[in-house]
């Protein structure tokens, strides 16, 4: 048996792990136990077993609160979902597989950064036989957290595909669609930053999505 085939013992459950385990400063965390930790846990070279166990205990509390968590506001049409509890100023977010949610206070969000990615959906065959091009914008709101276990949480969502002519250059339809989606994404980032009602009400609502979000927030 080679060096890299050697099994190690998980410091939490005592089970054996051969691969896909996390090495801690003072122990080993197997793949099975890793599922009981936040998907966004910030593993560092100095991360200890005590820190991991602390997050596991917190995750158990979150699991108990999940069913009763208010769905006042919901974002995300794909697998990843984000819900906001306006009364207690909390949010719940799932991972990209649509499960294993974490719950945090909105006040734990230190800042939000909006990232945009553009992709072409057409296959090579479609590119050869049609002048139409289908673009998809993916947006990611990256939340920097004030939390002992999690430093950043990305929330990803996609806009509806946009169909254009043979080129994206100076394409007015594509640019308008991008601007509309970025406005909505920016509003979500603002909401997550815990802005006041006055600030939210003064945001220019130049899209249907933006208007709906702001209307929903008038009682915030």
Query: pLDDT (tens digit, 0 to 9) for every residue of the chain, 220 residues total?
Result: 345 567 899 999 999 988 889 999 999 999 999 999 999 999 999 999 999 999 999 999 999 999 899 887 787 766 788 888 878 888 899 887 777 899 998 888 888 887 777 777 767 777 667 777 777 777 788 889 999 999 999 888 766 666 666 665 446 666 666 666 666 666 666 666 654 343 444 434 333 444 454 444 333 3
The conformational region for residue 174 under phi > 0 = left, psi -120 to 50 = alpha, else beta, is alpha
**What confidence score (pLDDT) does residue 161 get?**
64
Rounded to two decimals, the pTM is 0.71
Question: Looking at the structure, do residues 37 and 140 belong to the same domain, yes or no?
Answer: no
Question: Looking at the structure, do residues 87 and 149 belong to the same domain, yes or no?
Answer: yes
Question: Looking at the structure, do residues 91 and 182 belong to the same domain, yes or no?
Answer: yes
The residue from 68, 91, 116 where one domain ends is 68
The residue from 68, 87, 104 where one domain ends is 68
Question: Looking at the structure, do residues 98 and 166 belong to the same domain, yes or no?
Answer: yes
Question: Looking at the structure, do residues 61 and 120 belong to the same domain, yes or no?
Answer: no
Question: Looking at the structure, do residues 31 and 113 belong to the same domain, yes or no?
Answer: no
Question: Looking at the structure, do residues 62 and 113 belong to the same domain, yes or no?
Answer: no
Q: How many domains does the chain have?
A: 2
Question: Looking at the structure, do residues 155 and 196 belong to the same domain, yes or no?
Answer: yes
**What confidence score (pLDDT) does residue 141 get?**
82
Question: Whole-angstrom Cα distance, residue 130 to residue 206?
Answer: 32
Q: In what order do the strands lie in the sheet with 90-93?
A: 73-75, 82-85, 90-93, 102-105
Structural domain boundaries, residue 46: 1-68
Q: Six-digit token pair at 162?
A: 């946009």
The residue from 20, 39, 68 where one domain ends is 68
Question: Looking at the structure, do residues 90 and 19 belong to the same domain, yes or no?
Answer: no
**What confidence score (pLDDT) does residue 124 get?**
73
Question: Looking at the structure, do residues 81 and 126 belong to the same domain, yes or no?
Answer: yes
Is 155 within 8 Å of 71 (Cβ atoms)?
A: no
Question: Looking at the structure, do residues 126 and 200 belong to the same domain, yes or no?
Answer: yes
Question: Looking at the structure, do residues 113 and 204 belong to the same domain, yes or no?
Answer: yes
């Amino acid at each position: 048996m080679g060096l890299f085939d050697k099994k190690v013992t998980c410091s939490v459950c005592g089970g054996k792990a051969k691969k896909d385990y996390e090495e801690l400063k003072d122990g080993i965390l197997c793949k099975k136990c890793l599922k009981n930790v936040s998907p966004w846990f910030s593993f560092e070279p100095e991360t200890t077993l005590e820190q991991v166990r602390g997050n596991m205990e917190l995750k158990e509390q979150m699991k108990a609160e999940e069913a009763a968590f208010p769905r006042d506001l919901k974002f995300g049409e794909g697998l990843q979902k984000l819900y906001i509890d306006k009364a207690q100023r909390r949010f719940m977010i799932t991972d990209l597989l649509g499960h294993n949610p974490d719950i945090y206070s909105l006040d734990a969000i230190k800042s939000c950064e909006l990232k945009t990615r553009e992709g072409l959906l057409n296959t090579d065959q479609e590119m050869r036989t049609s002048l139409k091009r289908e673009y998809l914008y993916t947006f990611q709101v990256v939340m920097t957290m004030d939390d002992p276990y999690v430093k950043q949480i990305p929330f990803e969502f996609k806009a509806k595909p946009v169909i254009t002519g043979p080129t994206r250059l100076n394409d007015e339809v594509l640019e308008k669609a991008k601007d509309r989606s970025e406005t909505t994404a920016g509003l979500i980032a603002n909401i997550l930053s815990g802005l006041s009602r006055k600030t939210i009400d003064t945001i220019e609502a130049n899209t249907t999505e933006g208007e709906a979000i702001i209307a929903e927030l008038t009682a915030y």
